[in-house]
Amino acid sequence: MSSKICILIIEDEAAIRNFMTTALSGAGYKVITAKDGQQGLVMTTSYRPDVVLLDLGLPDMDGMKIIRSIREWSLMPIIVVSARGMEDDKVEALDAGADDYITKPFGTNELQARIRNVLRHWHSRRDLSLESLGTFRTGELAIDFDKRRVFVRGEEVHLTQNEYKIVALLSKYSGRVMTYEYLIKEIWGPYAKADNQILRVNMANIRRKIEDNPADPRYIITEVGVGYRMMEED
C-alpha cells in the first residue's frame, strides 16, 4: 500500500488515538493526529488528508460541526469513529456528510476495511470530481462547481448543502436517470433509510428555487417511480 495515503485521526482519547495510529501505520498509511476539534480543522486544511477518522465527542466542539465545516469546501472521505451507537446519531452524522460510521469498540480489520471501502469510492469518482468540472450550463441554469454556487439568469440561487449536492450530482450525469435509491445513498450515505420522502422534500425546495414553474419543471425531470434526470448541458 502506498505510504502516500494520509489519514488524519481526530480523537481526544490518547489510548484510542495511539491504538489506531499503530494499526494504520503498520498497514502502510501515513498517520497524523489531532486531539481536539480545532486542531483537527486546521490539519484538514494544512495536510488535505485522504481520509479523516473523526470522534464525535471531542472536548472543544461536537464532531458534527467538524463534518459540516469540512463539507463546506471538500469532499474528502470522513469516517466517524464514535461510542455513540444510536441510530439517530448515525443518521445525523451521515446526513451531515460523513461517508461511514464505526461504533466503538471495533477491530483493526474492520477499521482497515472501512478505510479501503471509502478510498475505493473516492478514487472511482476522482476523474469525475465535481471540483474539477468547471461550470455546467443548461438553459438559464449555471452551476459553478469550483465555487459551489448556482445561478439562474445570472442571479445566484441559495441552496442548502444537501440541495446543492443533489443538483451537482444530477448535473454531473446530465441526460441520465439517477434512481431514488442511488441519490439517497450518494447524498445521505449507506445507512440512510430508503425513504424517498426526504428526497422529494429537497427536490420540491430545489424546484421552487430554480424553476419558473415548479409544477412543470424545465431543468430537473421526474421519471415517475424511478428517479430524476437533469436536462443535458448546452
| Residue % of the chain over a pLDDT of 70 | 90
- Mean pLDDT, residues 190-216 taken together: 87
Structural domain boundaries of the chain? 6-126, 130-230
pLDDT of amino acid 130: 47
What average pLDDT does the chain have? Answer: 86
CA distances from residue 9 to 20, 111, 128, 207 in whole angstroms, order as listed = 8, 12, 27, 39
Level-2 CATH architecture, domain 130-230: Orthogonal Bundle (1.10)
Q: Which residue has the higher pLDDT, 12 or 194?
A: 12
Domain 6-126 has CATH 3.30.300.30: no
pLDDT category of residue 218 using cuts at 50, 70 and 90 = very high
Show contacts of 204-208: CB within 8 Å, 24+ apart. Answer: 205/160, 205/163, 206/159, 206/163, 206/166, 206/167
Reported as a pLDDT band with limits 50, 70 and 90, residue 4 is low
Give the pTM.
Answer: 0.55
Sign of CA dihedral 34, 124, 203, 147: positive
What is the CA 231 to chain-centroid distance, rounded?
A: 24
pLDDT of 226: 85
The mean per-residue pLDDT over the stretch 220-224 comes to 91
